[in-house]
Structure 1
């Protein structure tokens, strides 16, 4: 993932066509969030999210799904119960379930 700032006024990515443009005073507008003014950190995160969606779209296509279908299905309760693993995945799994 490679979000780059061009001339302090434009953020681009080599993985998505979306961009962010500086609107002055530290504010940025992202192409897929029109009407919202974001901080530099927020605009960078938005473009990174767009990059992640592009990656999911490629992977989803390999199993015959759209990115939206894949995300929707992957965020549902797992039918086999909680995975038996150590470390961060278990914490993520529990946090994700508790947030619903």
Structure 2
């Protein structure tokens, strides 16, 4: 992950074209969240998500899914519930 704060006015990722820009008084706007104003911490998290999506896109390509499809399936599909392994106890 490679996210950088530039001159305390922009947050950028070197793996995504998205960025956050300060609009003053701890208010930030993010390129993929139009109409929303965020705190600096929220803007940083948003750009970190954009950075992670670059990895997800690379990982999903070989299995024939888009990043959106893969993340959606992970979120909505039930996991396999496996019983916890039982530990042998000495009597």
Whether TM-score is above 0.5 comes out as: yes
Q: CA deviation at 1:27?
A: 0.8
Aligned counterparts of 2:28 and 2:84: Cα–Cα separation in 1: 41
Aligned twin of 1:41: 41
Residues 60-79 of structure 1 correspond to what in structure 2 (within 5 A)?
Answer: 60-75=60-75, 76-78=77-79
Which one has the bigger helix percentage?
Answer: 1
Larger Rg: 2
Unaligned runs of 5+ in 2: 86-91
- The within-5 A match list for 1:9-88 is 9-75=9-75, 76-78=77-79, 81-83=80-82
Aligned residues: 84
User: Any gaps of 5 or more consecutive residues in structure 1?
Assistant: 87-100
Of structures 1 and 2, the one with the larger relative CO (CA 8 A, separation 6+) is: 2
RMSD after superposition = 1.7
Compute the displacement of 1:69 (Å).
Answer: 1.3
SS at match of 1:33: coil
